[in-house]
Amino acid sequence: MIPIILAYQRPELTLQLFTKLHQINSDFQKKNGEYVFSWIVLAHDGLQDKAGSEIRRYHEQTRQLCRDLEKDKANVKTLLFDKNIGLTQHIFRCIDAQGINSRDCILFEEDKIPTLEAIEFLKSSKDLMNPSCILDTLPINQHLGLELNYVSTLFTDNGNVVIGEELLNLAKELWIKKDLFQNEFEKNLLFYFSNFLSGFSLRRAYGYYSKFFSWGLTNIDRPDSLLSYALILSQKLKVCPTFPLSENWSDRDTRGKNVNIVPNNRGIDCNFSTTEIWGFNTCTRCEKQGVSERIELNRIGALKVGLNYRISKHRNSKQKQ
């Protein structure tokens, strides 16, 4: 398998992740008699046109780190890009540059740190995965009581990811054709949410996420939304281990695009039984939790959020006057 580290302007995290992957490769070899990684790819994106002087400095530090690691380590390859085309197309070109099936590539953001168990899960699952699915190592909760060693979901922390080849090709097609399949996507999304939501909650979730996932069709930096759109269109889900196998370090460095503070109710041992949706074993309790982390699903909570937003907007407009 080929790990691809998506680096930009966080040299410390990039080095920590690289060091961890080297250690995992060594541990895997001691345990199994062979290395799990043929080489490690450091993909350093081009600088954004709007980048200020501070970002430019960190960007150059990260690029120099990539060059130094390639010089010092025999199993390191670098992909150093001059042009920034947005994260979505950047992921496409990084996978395409390997010239192999996308299921043999693991995507790493610098702030999602794997364990040996995470890599073993991805390696053992990739040949069995549906080519229209995603493997992900960061489900939001634990499901230690399940007989299976995996659970399917739409909502994860976007950990260490393997994308099925058919799903990747669909995402590329969607990026070009945009909303050509919007009606089918919306029908599938409504069906999916109706398995665990109803009434006001269903209407609110559908209204929000149909826009949020469709955002991936046009926003150059939302591959997560685009891939979720492709999953729903294909009637597929992510496949995860029954508990998180990687660590989310996104709150340790504020220079990332999204600084994610993990909610306090994450990581619980969920004993809720799974339900089959589209042939996938899914925990509907955790899906509802995943939905609710972005929007309020009850009417009173939604009214409070709307009221607070209007008050804040009014205060800001008065301060500008």
- Convert 263-275 to b/e letters by CB count within 10 Å (16 or more is b): eeebeeebeeebe
Please give the span between the terminal C-alpha atoms of the chain, in angstroms, as a whole number. Answer: 58
Global pTM exceeds 0.95: no
Question: What pLDDT is attached to residue 265?
Answer: 73
Question: What pLDDT is attached to residue 307?
Answer: 47
Do 141 and 2 lie in one domain? The reply is: no
Question: What pLDDT is attached to residue 321?
Answer: 53
Do 50 and 176 lie in one domain? The reply is: no
The domain spanning residue 41 has which CATH number? 3.40.50
C-alpha radius of gyration, the chain, whole number: 20
Out of 76, 110, 144, pick the residue that ends a domain. 110
Report d(CA 240, CA 16) in Å as an integer. 24
In tens, the pLDDT along 225-282 reads 999 999 999 999 999 999 999 999 988 877 776 556 667 777 789 988 899 999 999 9
Do 145 and 102 lie in one domain? The reply is: no
Do 40 and 143 lie in one domain? The reply is: no
Looking up tokens 């890599």 gives: 119
Do 39 and 151 lie in one domain? The reply is: no
In tens, the pLDDT along 283-311 reads 999 999 999 988 988 765 544 444 443 44
Out of 80, 110, 140, pick the residue that ends a domain. 110
Do 83 and 214 lie in one domain? The reply is: no
Q: Is the pLDDT of residue 22 over 60?
A: yes
pLDDT-above-90 percentage for the chain: 79
Which domain covers residue 187, as residue numbers? 116-321
Total domains present in the chain: 2
By residue count, the chain amounts to 321
Do 54 and 203 lie in one domain? The reply is: no
Query: What residue type is 165 in one-letter code?
Result: E
Question: What pLDDT is attached to residue 309?
Answer: 39
* Residue 31, CB-side half-sphere exposure with 13 Å CA sphere: 11
Out of 110, 131, 161, pick the residue that ends a domain. 110
Q: Is the pLDDT of residue 162 over 90?
A: yes
Question: What pLDDT is attached to residue 126?
Answer: 94
Do 195 and 88 lie in one domain? The reply is: no
Rounding to the nearest 10 degrees, give the CA dihedral for residues 300, 303, 308, 309.
Answer: 140
Question: What pLDDT is attached to residue 199?
Answer: 96
Per-residue pLDDT band for 145 (boundaries 50, 70, 90) equals confident
Question: What pLDDT is attached to residue 252?
Answer: 83
CB atoms within 10 A of CB 249: 18
Per-residue pLDDT band for 53 (boundaries 50, 70, 90) equals very high
Do 72 and 148 lie in one domain? The reply is: no
Q: What's the whole-number average pLDDT of the chain?
A: 91
